[in-house]
Structure 1
C-alpha cells in the first residue's frame, strides 16, 4: 500500500531520531512532552528506528503513545540492526560518525543484520519496546552508510534475499501495510527500484531531497519512483538542522559552501517575511513523488514551529526568486508549478 493512502492527517509526520538522545542527553519528561505536543498539534504519523539511541527512541515513543488509540496513528520503524542485551560504550561503537551522534543513548550493543530471521527478530523487538501490536510501514535501514564502505553491496544482496522477501511476505499477509528502504543515499533506492523481483510500497529518503541537496534525487530517483508508483517519504528536510538554525549538516560540521547557501536562503526568506522552515517543508513536498515529510524534534516548541511552517502561505514571488537566483535546480518542481 502506498503510504500516502494511509496518512490520517496530512503529509507532516514526526521523525523521532532526536528522542534517542541525538547529540544531547534529553530529559525523559522533555522527550515525552515533545511527542505529546506533536499529537496535540495534529501529527498522526510517527517514524522511529531501533538504532535511535539503541532502542531509546522506540521506548519513549511507545510510552508517549500508550495513551492513544493505536488505530488513530500511523507508525513506521526499521530493520537492519539488532539491539542486543550486551552492553558497550555508545561513544565507541563501530558506526563512524553515528557513534558520536547517539553517544548519549542506551549502552546496548548494536549489530547489523539484514537477513530474513534478523528482520523478524527486529520487528518483534520493536513491538515489545513500543508495546504495540503492529507496525504499519517498515524500512530497511541505513544499508549504504559510508562506514560500511564497499561492504554495502554485499549487505544489499543479503537484504534482497532476506529482509526484502520477509517484508513482502508480511505485507502480503496483511501484517504490515508496506515496506521500503530507510536511507540517506540515492544509490540503494535506485538499485531497489531496478529489481524486477522486489515490489516496495514506499521509501524513506533522508537528507537527499532538501533545499540544500536535491539534484541527484531529482534527476535519477524521483522520476523512477513515480514510474514505479513508489512513494517517497522525505526525512531530514532541514539537513540535520542547519536549515533550522542548527549547527550540523550531514550529522557533522557545516561546510563553508553550505553555510554560504544557507545564508542566501535565509536572506531571501527574511526578504519575504517567511520562516526558512516553511520554505524547506514546502519545497520537499512539492515534488509529485513526495508523500510525506518527517522533520525531527526534541522540544515541544520545535513541533509547533513545524506545523506553523507547513501552514505558512508563501507568495509565488518567493519561489520565482528562489529559482531566478539559482538556489534550487531549474527543473525542481515548486508549489507554483502545480
Structure 2
C-alpha cells in the first residue's frame, strides 16, 4: 500500500458547498452562473461532496461541467456518508442545508460503502471519472473503521485506476496527521486550523505532511466568516458561532494593516496559507458570479513582504 508521488492541484479551487444550498437557497441560475464564471476565469479544480445539500451540490456541479472537456479539469468528491431515503416532510437546515429532507445521511466506512458512495456520486455528477476521493470527516464517523477499512479500500481503488488520488478531509489536525502517517494518502484537506488567525496545524500536521510528501488543500480559510469581509462586523462568526471580542480585535487589527497597504482582510486570509510550502491549494466556497470574480481578483493580488513580516511578528 505505498503512496505514489505527491499529487498536486491548481492553486485556487471552486468549493461547491454553497451551490448545494449551504445556509440558504441558491437558484439553479445562480449555481450555473457561478460555475460558468469559474470556468471562464480559468479555475480548473472543483470540489464537492454528497453531504453538501444531500447530493444537490454534486448534481448541480455535474450539470454545469458536463459539456466541458473532461481532461481539462480536476474534480474531487468525498466518501463516508451514504445518501439513503429520508423522512421527506421537512428540511435539512439542522445540518446547514436549505434542501428537502427526502434524503438522509448514513455513515458507512466499509469497503462496500466506500465503493457504493463513489458509484452514486458518479451517477449524480453524470461523469465517468472522479479525480480525487477524500474520506470525509472521519472524526465524526466510525473512526477506527476509517483506518482498518476505508483507507485501505481507497488505496485499492487508486491501484485499480478508479481514481487518480485519495485523501482525507477533516477539521481535526490530530486525526489528519494520523491518516498522513499511514503512508496511504496523497492529499490532506484541512478545514481551518491553518489560517491568518490561527495555526495549530503548524505544530505537527504540516511538518508531517512535508516529511512524507503529502500535499495539503486548505479550506475554511476565512474561519467561517470573520476573515471574509473588509472589516469584521460586531456579529462576525468564527467557527460557526459568535466571534469573541479578542478574535474581533485581532481580525480588525489585521484589517487595518491590510488597508494600510492597499489590500483587504480577505486578501491576506487567502494568501496566508499558500505561504507554507506544503499547502498547494486553497478551495473557496463560491455561490455567485460576483464571488468568483472577487476571489480570482484576490488570488492575483501581491502581498508585500513587509506585510508578512508584521503578521509574523504579532
TM-score (norm 2): 0.92
Q: Please tell me whether residue 234 in structure 1 is matched to residue 218 in structure 2.
A: yes
Q: 1:3 to 1:236 in 2, by over 3 A?
A: farther
For 1:221, the equivalent position in structure 2 comes to 205
Q: Please tell me whether residue 248 in structure 1 is matched to residue 243 in structure 2.
A: no
Q: Please tell me whether residue 204 in structure 1 is matched to residue 193 in structure 2.
A: no
Quote how far apart the aligned CAs of 1:224 are. 0.3
Aligned Cα root-mean-square deviation (Å): 1.8
For 1:125, the equivalent position in structure 2 comes to 120
5+ residue gaps, structure 1: 146-151, 327-338
Q: 1:52 to 1:170 in 2, by over 3 A?
A: same
Q: 1:1-338 residue pairs with structure 2 within 5 A? A: 1=4, 4-5=7-8, 7=9, 10-88=10-88, 99-104=94-99, 107-145=102-140, 155-195=142-182, 198-214=183-199, 216-245=200-229, 247-324=236-313, 326=314
Contact 1:76 1:139 in 2 (8 A): yes
Q: 1:2 to 1:59 in 2, by over 3 A?
A: farther
SS in 2 for 1:13: strand
**CA distance in 1 between partners of 2:277 and 2:134 (Å):** 21
**Structure (1/2) with the larger helix percentage:** 1
Q: 1:253 to 1:3 in 2, by over 3 A?
A: farther
Q: 1:106 to 1:64 in 2, by over 3 A?
A: farther
Contact 2:195 2:269 in 1 (8 A): yes
**CA distance in 2 between partners of 1:88 and 1:212 (Å):** 40
Quote how far apart the aligned CAs of 1:115 are. 1.0
SS in 1 for 2:121: helix
Contact 2:86 2:101 in 1 (8 A): no
Aligned residues: 306
**CA distance in 2 between partners of 1:302 and 1:15 (Å):** 12
